[in-house]
């Protein structure tokens, strides 16, 4: 069944009594919320949101699973991933070091689209479910290979308590402590 | 003995009325009004409003911090303005706004009036309240900026709309009691024959007139942010900006004191039990200030409910709705006086 | 008021301009509602006034031009999707679905029904969120800050729904050529139904405090009337044209995705003033809520189907199938990074929150598009400033601006 057109018209303004009634109605709604605001404000950093596991947050690298295919660097829309070449000892030939390439990330450019995580054929990249990470200088946002393998720390965890938001039919978005 | 001396000095009428109640009291009430406006709007809008500065006090210290910031901010005076008017107009406007408080008695005991006689106090107070808007027009003109001039022009149009309403509505208090003496008007309303209950039309007209005069929603037209950036106050910064912005709230408070004396019964139902400074002066004045503060808070609440009128629609609302209402209220007051009700 | 000399003069020293007064015409003066103005958005409107009446209004756009069409020419086929959705990030799915449809026309692929329903679900969630954003900005232009806060607060509910579905609040990047990137979580249908019931109740309260508020009705009634023939002649699109009596909606005339299987109405008003445009958006929100309910019902009944075409799903390696079974996430093949699309030209249209969007995609067989041309609804609505605003008062300008829901980043691309 395709869409139908519905012709409607705006209700025209009434007279004096309807004007007084609409004024009183507007004031009544305002007083109702003045008495019971139904707030859902997040008092960050005393509280922080614990997102679901599917949330596309910061990206972490697992070096053992990487096969150096460079698909992540090729698919990144904002050129935030780059492959670097490292020389490392080869576990199968201990006296002959090998050259491999691994990805590093520049968080000044990352848009958290998740293409790299989805394209990696060995699941060597994964998202952590938060994005409120703090860096103290711009240079720190160019992660080295070692830093890329470590899960970033979330400063709010130290001083706050986690909350979760739920959709409620009466009150809209409701905050619940975990 | 020390306490009595201190009380005598503090309750000295010109000191109490103009300096403590006038300047300090207006400042405190303006801060409470701004705090309530932000907090009430926040509650209606389902958010918190001022909070982090003092979580236990509901964020009141935030407003105090704003005042301190304005005082310490750099006052930038552009080269192209008319310096004398630019600097003097807000200051003179503030002083003239507080002046009507010299003529509003806060107690029936003549020992505590700031001027010798309150015989024509209603007329004089009402007359002085009409002066500050002219200074607002002057300061917008002095700023030499298109947005400021448009804001000043709007203020002058709005003046022509509400002046008549304010004067007629408040004079209906004189019409009801056949006297211009504010003390007589209040005494005639003892203990609970308040004029707001006997003559609601005039009270409504006076309330609307005060909303229009002090740019409260829905009449916040000269300073509407979305066409003229801040209206006449566009070029101001620092302490002059604070004087301008606070001036609207102070004028609201002064009008509210006048309204609470004429319509809400002033210090009724209380009659001073003795002539001492506390029972005879401080208690009735605090009752009047409490009623005035309630009126100011009610005006602040409207911010959360209404949008802005267009300029010509506001003038039309004044001429088509408020002036007939004020005339009807005036006539009703005369009828009340004829029937010896009050 | 002092007139000052502007620029250089003969040896008088350097004088700052005062009020720049330039004789435009007798009794006409000019003000710039410029980019640094609380009521202008990311654009400048040059307004010429005779007293309080606007004589001429000239939109000065281009402040947010980000060269998206040119950038698409140097990025491989999947990369323009996050780029193009940032034109109107609040309406992200609606703006990328036509691009993906154009690619599917060139590749001769079509998404399975479950993917189409998921795309429509996210499109309608975005439409509700975008209309609420428009209401918020409209409210604050009229001075009604409560409408602003309420609209943005209720928009949070729908942004939260989108976050549960796609993993990101606004930058979904959800459709890919062939299907979508994720399947719906198990608890999503119940959440969506609760959100729909909540929004229906809130629309009643919006009516009481904003739409029937006497001050607002007086400001909007009869303001910015766009007559029907002028609307057709100017070529404006979206709820603006449906408020002037023209029955045009891309979901009606050329249904894409699964819109021809869903049961909904397209509201059309005839007055053409700002109040009618606002009511069109309110009615559209109600219809979008109906569509969300129908989509969620269908998705719950048809579980277990894949969200990319069956032939692509069967060719996926074992790890990819395992990840899809466990988390519902579709993994791309590394070949997607440099996929080639057969040469050809394709046009696809969609109906965004603000109107009709048209994509023209041309491929020469390579890994990047040869040309991507996009015509956004706000770009077509910009002429309203020039033709409708003159004749109104200065305070009507924010009312008209808010009612046509003009979004400068979308217009400037």
Q: What is the CATH number of the domain that holds C374?
A: 1.10.645.10
Largest CA distance in chain A: 96
Candidates B89, B133, B105, B25; CA nearest to B241 is B89
Would you call A39 and B40 a contact, using CB atoms and an 8 Å cutoff?
no
Q: What is the DSSP letter of A65?
A: G
Residues A13-20: what's their mean pLDDT? 77
Candidates C268, C255, C254, C266; CA nearest to C290 is C266
Token pair recorded at residue B284? 């009735």
User: What is the gyration radius of the CA atoms in chain B, in angstroms?
Assistant: 20
In a domain, A6, yes or no: no
Would you call A26 and B48 a contact, using CB atoms and an 8 Å cutoff?
no
**Pair C131, C285: CB distance under 8 Å:** yes
Answer with the residue of higher pLDDT: B276 or A129: A129
Taking phi first (over 0 means left), then psi (-120 to 50 degrees means alpha), and beta for anything else, what does residue A114 get? left
Would you call A30 and B48 a contact, using CB atoms and an 8 Å cutoff?
no
**Per-residue model confidence (pLDDT) at position C22:** 61
Helix (H, G, I), strand (E, B) or coil at C377: helix
User: In chain B, which residue's Cα lies nearest the Cα of A173?
Assistant: B46
Q: How many domains does chain C have?
A: 1
C78 and chain A: CB distance < 8 Å anywhere? yes
User: What is the gyration radius of the CA atoms in chain C, in angstroms?
Assistant: 24
In a domain, C23, yes or no: no
Which residues of C fall within a CB distance of 8 Å from A54? Answer: 164, 167, 182, 185, 327, 329
Helix (H, G, I), strand (E, B) or coil at B244: helix
B320 and chain A: CB distance < 8 Å anywhere? no
Candidates B256, B263, B235, B268; CA nearest to B300 is B256
| pTM of the predicted model as reported, rounded to 2 decimal places | 0.89
Candidates C150, C122, C121, C118; CA nearest to C136 is C150
A to B CB pairs, distance under 8 Å: 28
Q: How far is B274 from B168, CA to CA, in rounded Å?
A: 36
Nearest to A118 among C157, C181, C194 (CB): C181
Which residues of B fall within a CB distance of 8 Å from C34? Answer: none
User: In chain C, which residue's Cα lies nearest the Cα of B49?
Assistant: C149
Chain segment C109-118, per-residue pLDDT in tens: 888 999 999 9
**Per-residue model confidence (pLDDT) at position C1:** 40
Candidates C18, C55, C3, C63; CA nearest to C37 is C63
Q: How far is B316 from B297, CA to CA, in rounded Å?
A: 26
CA distance A113 to chain C (A): 7
Q: How far is C78 from C264, CA to CA, in rounded Å?
A: 32
Residue span of the structural domain in which C173 resides: 68-412
In a domain, C6, yes or no: no
Which of B86, B155, B218, B227 to substitute to test the interface with C, most C CBs within 10 Å?
A: B227
Q: How far is B235 from B139, CA to CA, in rounded Å?
A: 10
A to C CB pairs, distance under 8 Å: 168
Helix (H, G, I), strand (E, B) or coil at A98: strand
C194 and chain A: CB distance < 8 Å anywhere? yes
Would you call C265 and A169 a contact, using CB atoms and an 8 Å cutoff?
no
CA distance A42 to chain B (A): 10
Helix, strand, coil percent content, chain B, rounded in steps of 5: 70, 0, 30
Token pair recorded at residue B286? 């605090």
C38 and chain B: CB distance < 8 Å anywhere? yes
**Per-residue model confidence (pLDDT) at position C83:** 92
C9 falls in which pLDDT band (50, 70, 90)? very low
CA atoms within 13 A on the CB side of C220: 30
Nearest to A173 among C82, C156, C197 (CB): C156
Q: What are phi and psi of A87, to 5 degrees?
A: -105, 125
Would you call A13 and C83 a contact, using CB atoms and an 8 Å cutoff?
no
Would you call A172 and C283 a contact, using CB atoms and an 8 Å cutoff?
no
Ranges of each domain in chain B: 2-338
A126 and chain C: CB distance < 8 Å anywhere? no
Tell me the CATH number at A103. Answer: 3.30.70.3270
C145 and chain A: CB distance < 8 Å anywhere? no
**Pair C176, C99: CB distance under 8 Å:** no
Helix (H, G, I), strand (E, B) or coil at C349: strand
Candidates C131, C141, C146, C138; CA nearest to C90 is C131
User: In chain C, which residue's Cα lies nearest the Cα of A71?
Assistant: C334
Q: What is the DSSP letter of C331?
A: P
Residues of B at the C interface, defined by Cβ within 8 angstroms: 41, 44-47, 79-80, 141, 144-147, 149-150, 217-218, 220-221, 224-227, 229, 303-313
Q: How far is C328 from C331, CA to CA, in rounded Å?
A: 9
Q: What is the DSSP letter of A151?
A: P
What separation, in Å, do the N-terminal and C-terminal C-alpha atoms of chain A show?
A: 45
CA atoms within 13 A on the CB side of C348: 21
What separation, in Å, do the N-terminal and C-terminal C-alpha atoms of chain B show?
A: 43
C265 and chain A: CB distance < 8 Å anywhere? yes
In a domain, C22, yes or no: no
Residues C127-134: what's their mean pLDDT? 93
DSSP string, C206-266: HIIIIIT-HHHHHHHTTSS---HHHHHHHT--THHHHTTT----HHHHS--TTGGGS--EE
Helix B132-142 and helix B146-177, axial crossing angle in degrees, nearest 10: 180
B301 and chain A: CB distance < 8 Å anywhere? yes
In a domain, A44, yes or no: no
**Per-residue model confidence (pLDDT) at position B225:** 65
User: For residue C392, how many other CB atoms are within 10 A of its CB?
Assistant: 19
Token pair recorded at residue A93? 């030939």
Which residues of B fall within a CB distance of 8 Å from A33? Answer: 43-46
* Residue with token string 């509650």: B43
**Per-residue model confidence (pLDDT) at position C3:** 44
**Per-residue model confidence (pLDDT) at position C18:** 56
Would you call C395 and B229 a contact, using CB atoms and an 8 Å cutoff?
no
Nearest to B44 among A30, A40, A41 (CB): A30
Among residues 16-55 of chain A, which lie with CB inside 8 Å of chain C?
19, 22-23, 25-26, 28-30, 40, 51-52, 54-55
**Per-residue model confidence (pLDDT) at position C8:** 43
Q: How many domains does chain A have?
A: 1
**Per-residue model confidence (pLDDT) at position C5:** 43
Which residues of A fall within a CB distance of 8 Å from C77? Answer: none
DSSP string, C379-410: HHHTHHHHHHSTTSBTTHHHHHHHHHT--HHH
Whole-angstrom CA distances from C17 to A146, B142, C12, C22 are: 58, 15, 13, 12
Nearest to B43 among A26, A27, A34 (CB): A34
Residues of A at the B interface, defined by Cβ within 8 angstroms: 26-27, 30, 33-34, 37-41
**Per-residue model confidence (pLDDT) at position C24:** 63
**With 90 as the cut, is the pLDDT of residue C125 above it?**
yes
- What is the residue-level pLDDT of chain B in tens, covering all 342 positions? 788 888 777 777 677 777 777 778 788 888 888 898 888 888 888 888 888 888 888 888 998 998 899 889 888 888 888 888 888 888 898 889 888 888 888 888 777 777 778 888 889 998 999 898 888 888 888 888 888 888 888 888 888 888 888 898 888 888 888 888 888 888 888 777 888 888 888 999 999 899 888 888 788 877 766 666 777 888 888 888 888 888 888 888 899 999 998 888 888 777 777 777 677 777 888 888 889 999 999 998 888 888 888 888 888 888 888 889 899 999 988 888 888 776
User: What is the gyration radius of the CA atoms in chain A, in angstroms?
Assistant: 27
Would you call A7 and C270 a contact, using CB atoms and an 8 Å cutoff?
yes
Q: How far is C124 from C292, CA to CA, in rounded Å?
A: 7
Q: So what's the ipTM on this one?
A: 0.88
**Per-residue model confidence (pLDDT) at position C281:** 92
Helix (H, G, I), strand (E, B) or coil at A160: coil
Candidates B38, B105, B75, B101; CA nearest to B267 is B105
In a domain, A117, yes or no: yes
């Amino acid at each position: 069944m395709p869409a139908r057109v519905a012709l409607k018209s705006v209700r025209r303004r009434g007279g004096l009594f309807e004007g007084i009634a609409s004024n009183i109605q507007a004031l009544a709604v305002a007083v109702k919320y003045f008495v019971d605001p139904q707030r859902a404000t997040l008092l960050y950093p005393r509280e922080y949101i614990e997102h679901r596991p599917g949330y596309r947050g910061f990206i972490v690298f697992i070096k053992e699973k990487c096969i150096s295919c460079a698909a992540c660097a090729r698919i990144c829309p904002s050129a935030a991933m780059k492959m670097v070449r490292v020389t490392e000892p080869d576990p199968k030939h201990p006296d002959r070091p090998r050259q491999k390439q691994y990805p590093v990330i520049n968080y000044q450019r990352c848009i958290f689209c998740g293409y790299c995580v989805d394209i990696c054929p060995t699941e060597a990249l994964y998202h952590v479910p938060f994005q409120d990470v703090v860096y103290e200088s711009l240079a720190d946002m160019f992660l080295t290979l070692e830093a890329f393998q470590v899960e970033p720390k979330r400063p709010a965890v130290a001083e706050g308590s986690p909350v979760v938001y739920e959709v409620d039919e009466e009150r809209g978005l409701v905050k619940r402590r975990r | 003995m020390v306490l009595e001396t201190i009380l005598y000095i503090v309750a000295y009428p010109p000191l109490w009325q103009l300096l403590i109640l006038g300047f300090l009291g207006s400042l405190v009430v303006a801060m409470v009004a701004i705090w309530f406006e932000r907090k009430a709007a926040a509650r209606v809008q389902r958010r918190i409003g001022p909070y982090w500065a003092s979580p236990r006090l509901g964020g009141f210290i935030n407003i105090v911090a704003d005042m301190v910031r304005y005082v310490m901010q750099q006052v930038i005076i552009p080269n192209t303005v008319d310096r004398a008017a630019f600097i003097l107009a807000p200051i003179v406007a503030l002083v003239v706004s507080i002046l009507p408080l010299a003529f509003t008695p806060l107690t029936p005991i003549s020992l505590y009036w700031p001027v010798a006689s309150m015989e024509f106090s209603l007329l004089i107070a009402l007359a002085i309240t009409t002066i500050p808007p002219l200074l607002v027009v002057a300061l917008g003109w002095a700023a030499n900026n298109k947005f400021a001039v448009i804001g000043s022009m709007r203020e002058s149009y709005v003046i022509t709309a509400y002046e008549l309403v304010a004067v007629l509505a408040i004079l209906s208090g004189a019409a009801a009691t056949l006297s211009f003496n504010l003390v007589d008007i209040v005494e005639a309303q003892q203990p609970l024959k308040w004029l707001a209950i006997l003559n609601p039309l005039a009270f409504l007209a006076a309330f609307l007139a005060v909303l229009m005069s002090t740019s409260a929603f829905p009449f916040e037209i000269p300073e509407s942010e979305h066409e003229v950036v801040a209206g006449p106050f566009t070029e101001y910064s620092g302490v002059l900006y604070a004087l301008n912005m606070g001036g609207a709230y102070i004028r609201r408070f002064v009008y509210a004191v006048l309204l609470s004396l004429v319509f809400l019964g002033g210090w009724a139902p209380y009659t001073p039990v003795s002539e001492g400074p506390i029972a005879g002066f401080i208690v009735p004045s605090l009752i009047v200030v409490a009623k005035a503060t309630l009126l100011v808070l009610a005006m602040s609440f409207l911010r959360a409910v209404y949008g802005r009128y267009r300029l010509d629609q506001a003038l039309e609302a004044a001429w088509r709705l408020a002036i007939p209402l004020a005339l009807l209220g005036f006539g009703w007051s005369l009828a009340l006086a004829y029937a010896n009700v009050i | 008021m002092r007139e000052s000399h502007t620029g250089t003069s003969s040896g008088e020293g350097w004088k700052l301009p005062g009020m720049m007064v330039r004789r435009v015409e007798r009794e006409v003066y000019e003000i710039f509602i410029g980019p640094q103005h609380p009521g202008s958005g990311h654009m400048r409107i040059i307004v010429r006034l005779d007293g309080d009446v606007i004589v001429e209004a000239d939109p000065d756009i281009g402040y947010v031009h980000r060269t998206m069409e040119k950038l698409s020419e140097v990025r491989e086929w999947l990369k323009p999707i996050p780029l193009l959705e940032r034109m109107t990030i609040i309406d992200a799915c609606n703006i990328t679905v036509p691009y993906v449809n154009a690619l599917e026309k060139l590749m001769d692929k079509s998404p399975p029904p479950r993917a189409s329903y998921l795309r429509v679900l996210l499109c309608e969630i975005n439409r509700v969120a975008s209309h609420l954003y428009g209401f918020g900005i409209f409210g604050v232009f009229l001075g009604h800050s409560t409408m602003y806060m309420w609209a943005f607060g209720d928009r949070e509910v729908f942004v939260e729904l989108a976050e549960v579905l796609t993993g990101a609040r606004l930058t979904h990047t959800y459709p890919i050529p062939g299907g979508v990137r994720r399947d719906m979580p198990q608890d999503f249908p119940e959440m969506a139904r609760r959100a729909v019931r909540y929004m229906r109740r809130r629309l009643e309260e919006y009516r009481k405090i904003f739409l029937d508020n006497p001050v607002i009705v007086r400001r909007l009634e009869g303001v910015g009337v766009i007559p029907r023939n002028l609307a057709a002649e100017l070529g404006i699109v979206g709820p603006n044209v449906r408020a002037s009596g023209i029955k045009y909606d891309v979901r009606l005339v050329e249904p894409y995705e699964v819109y021809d299987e869903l049961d909904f109405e397209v509201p059309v008003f005839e007055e053409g003033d700002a109040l009618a445009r606002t009511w069109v958006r309110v009615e559209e929100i109600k219809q979008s809520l109906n569509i969300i309910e129908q989509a969620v019902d269908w998705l719950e009944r048809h579980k277990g189907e894949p969200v990319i075409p069956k032939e692509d799903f069967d060719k996926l390696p074992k790890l990819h199938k395992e990840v899809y079974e466990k988390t519902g996430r579709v993994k791309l093949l590394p070949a997607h990074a440099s996929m080639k699309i057969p040469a050809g030209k394709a046009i696809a249209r969609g109906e965004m929150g603000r109107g009709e969007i048209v994509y023209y995609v041309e491929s020469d067989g390579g890994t990047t598009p040869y040309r991507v041309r996009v015509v956004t609804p706000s770009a077509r609505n910009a002429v309203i400033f020039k033709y409708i605003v003159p004749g109104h008062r200065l305070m009507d300008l924010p009312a008209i601006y808010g009612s046509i829901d003009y979004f400068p980043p979308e217009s400037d691309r």
